Amino acid sequence: MVFRGVLALIAGGAFTVVACGYRGVDVWVWDWADVTFSPRYRTRWGSPWKSLERMRLWCGFMGVALVILGLVTVVS
């Protein structure tokens, strides 16, 4: 159980770093998604997200949720 909590904390931290745009990580993730996702999931901008701001917002919500989940799992 503790291992899952630690993994959730690591993933939440990574999503939070992307959401904050630390050292251009958000642009790197945007470019990675542009290359990785198949054309079926792409928008006309290439990435599955409509804009960089929406991607950062989505990553922020997921980061907060995973950090909370990880903390609850590790503490209990």
What is the residue extent of each domain of the chain?
A: 2-75
Q: What 3-state class would DSSP assign to 58?
A: helix
Report yes or no: 60 and 19 within 8 Å, Cβ to Cβ: yes
Report yes or no: 57 and 50 within 8 Å, Cβ to Cβ: no
Specify the pTM: 0.76
State yes or no: pLDDT of 8 exceeds 80.
yes
In 1-76, DSSP assigns E strands to none
State yes or no: pLDDT of 76 exceeds 70.
yes
Q: For the segment 27-71, what is each residue's pLDDT rounded down to a tens digit?
A: 888 777 777 766 666 666 666 677 778 888 888 999 999 999 999
